[in-house]
Amino acid sequence: MSRRDFVGGAAALGVGAAMRPAGGSRIQSDGFFRTAPIETVRIGFVGIGGQGGTHVENLLAIEGVRLAAVCDIRPERTAWAQAQAVAAGQPKPKAYTNGPRDFERLCAEEDLDLVFTATPWEWHVPVLLAAMQHGKHGVTEVPAAYRTEDCWAMVEAAEKYQKHCVMMENCCYDRLEMLALNLARKGLLGQLQHGECGYNHDLRAIKFADEGEGLWRRAHAVTRNGNLYPTHGLGPVAQAMDLNRGNQFDHLVSMSGPSRGLQAWAAEHVPADSPKRQEQYRLGDVNVTLIKMANGQTIYVTHDTNLPRPYSRKYVLQGTKGLVEGYPRRVYVEGMSAKEDTWDPAEKWFETHDHPLWKSDKVQQASRGHGGMDFLEDLRLIHCLRQGLPTDSNVYDAAALSVITPLTEQSVANRAKTMSVPDFTRGRWKTMPQLGIVEL
């Protein structure tokens, strides 16, 4: 028995004890975390950059939220968040700005229900663990983790402290992906067989910027080679294929092409005497990964952020009766589309099969955050906490989606070696119920 098996078995015993009735949050017999309803969700926010700022604005626009504390290494960003809270009619939140680990003081001192992090990747797990250790729920921007041991640390902490630990994958709430989920749940696509997805986004200028993600994201390309950002595309496909709810990732293979894009961009745009020109990059410009599901489906995942290209998440959800594609958005369902072997525009299907969450005028009119999906994911999170419902995504999903990154790195480093995906649920995925079509 490996150490991981031993620790996992011991944790599973602890989960069994935790399933007994008790106060506060706990894992229920269906395997999902729940908590008693929270009338006003008191939030501490860590990392108020571009995406973090969007979440702050969204949360302040949602009923039943109080922004109680804010944390960032830049005092000007906490001051901005404080001003936003006051403008929204809330008390001025306390600011924590004493260095990169001041979130630990926030978690220890503040009376909060939830700690939300939108920091650089390497800080996601430390913030989540500090939150749960101090009795708070934790949610994070993507990816939740990029080391296998950190994925296990999230799971074990959530089970030990009986707290929500959620990865906020906004693309699971995009309108097209939610349409596809609705069609799949209605059986109109037949049995799901295959998915294609990815994150294909020219980030060269962002990676070399002297602010924002340019201060940290490019460094990952220096030391790592694999799919560094799989969850935007993979999250919605995996959700439709019942990840951790009757299905799971079984194994994968991955390979990367040459590393040329960042070097070429630096040669054209970065001064010759800049230290950036001395950097060497390992990250292949294009990574391709094939994932096999336990129930037999296949998923093709791409990562391409170092080359010139229009943005695309390359979305495909293919079933035995039809499919949904993104970029461009279109649908074909055998026997229901307007013409045989001819695509329908997605807008036609929005009229008749739009996901209920997208029928809200408040969601469709949301102006902040990727066309409304960021607002919807924040709204749905708060709704679940206030109603005492399981969140749409949980710690097992966060771990399974995030662990794809280190597994691709290992596969790439070993000539596309087949890598088994850990079962973070320890077998409970076989009996966990399917995520249905939820409403507010």
Would residue 379 count as lying in a domain?
Answer: yes
* CATH number of the CATH domain containing 67: 3.40.50.720
Per-residue pLDDT at 10: 40
Pair (156, 231) in one structural domain: no
* CATH number of the CATH domain containing 371: 3.30.360.10
Q: Which backbone phi and psi does 227 adopt, to 5 degrees?
A: -95, 100
Say how many domains are in the chain. Answer: 2
The domain boundary, picked from 142, 169, 196, lies at: 169
pLDDT of 354 above 70:
yes
- Contact between 8 and 1 under an 8 Å Cβ cutoff? The reply is no
The DSSP 8-state label assigned to residue 391 in this structure reads P
Mean pLDDT of 294-321: 97
Pair (79, 207) in one structural domain: no
Query: 196-225: per-residue pLDDT in tens?
Result: 999 999 999 999 999 999 999 999 999 999
Query: 257-291: per-residue pLDDT in tens?
Result: 999 999 999 999 999 999 999 999 999 999 999 99
- Mean model confidence pLDDT for the chain: 93
The domain boundary, picked from 130, 151, 169, lies at: 169
Distance between CA atoms of 248 and 257, rounded to whole angstroms?
28
Q: How many residues appear in the chain?
A: 440
What is the Cα Rg of the chain in Å? 21
Pair (314, 238) in one structural domain: yes
Distance between CA atoms of 132 and 112, rounded to whole angstroms?
11
Per-residue pLDDT at 18: 37
High-pLDDT (> 90) share of the chain, %: 88
For residue 34, what pLDDT band results from cuts at 50, 70 and 90? Answer: confident
Pair (273, 342) in one structural domain: yes
Would residue 439 count as lying in a domain?
Answer: no
CA distance between the termini of the chain: 45
Per-residue pLDDT at 367: 65
- Contact between 191 and 322 under an 8 Å Cβ cutoff? The reply is no
Pair (339, 411) in one structural domain: yes
365 compared with 326, residue with greater pLDDT: 326
Distance between CA atoms of 15 and 376, rounded to whole angstroms?
31
Pair (31, 74) in one structural domain: yes
For residue 2, what pLDDT band results from cuts at 50, 70 and 90? Answer: very low
Would residue 183 count as lying in a domain?
Answer: yes
SS3 of residue 192 by DSSP: strand
Query: 355-369: per-residue pLDDT in tens?
Result: 999 998 778 777 666
pLDDT of 14 above 70:
no
Pair (61, 79) in one structural domain: yes
Per-residue pLDDT at 26: 63
Pair (349, 422) in one structural domain: yes
pLDDT of 6 above 80:
no
Query: 45-101: per-residue pLDDT in tens?
Result: 999 999 999 999 999 999 999 999 999 999 999 999 999 999 999 999 999 999 999
Per-residue pLDDT at 71: 98
- Strand 41-46's sheet: what is its strand order? 94-96, 65-71, 41-46, 114-117, 137-140, 165-167
Kindly provide the b/e burial profile for residues 73-107, where b requires at least 16 CB atoms within 10 angstroms of the residue's own CB: beeebbebbbebbeeeeeeebebbeeeeebbbebb
Pair (156, 179) in one structural domain: no
For residue 20, what pLDDT band results from cuts at 50, 70 and 90? Answer: very low
- Cα distances from 353 to residues 74, 229, 360, in angstroms, run 45, 30, 14
Pair (397, 298) in one structural domain: yes
Would residue 435 count as lying in a domain?
Answer: no
The domain boundary, picked from 106, 136, 169, lies at: 169
Residue-range definition of the domain harbouring residue 209:
171-430
Pair (135, 233) in one structural domain: no
- Contact between 54 and 369 under an 8 Å Cβ cutoff? The reply is yes
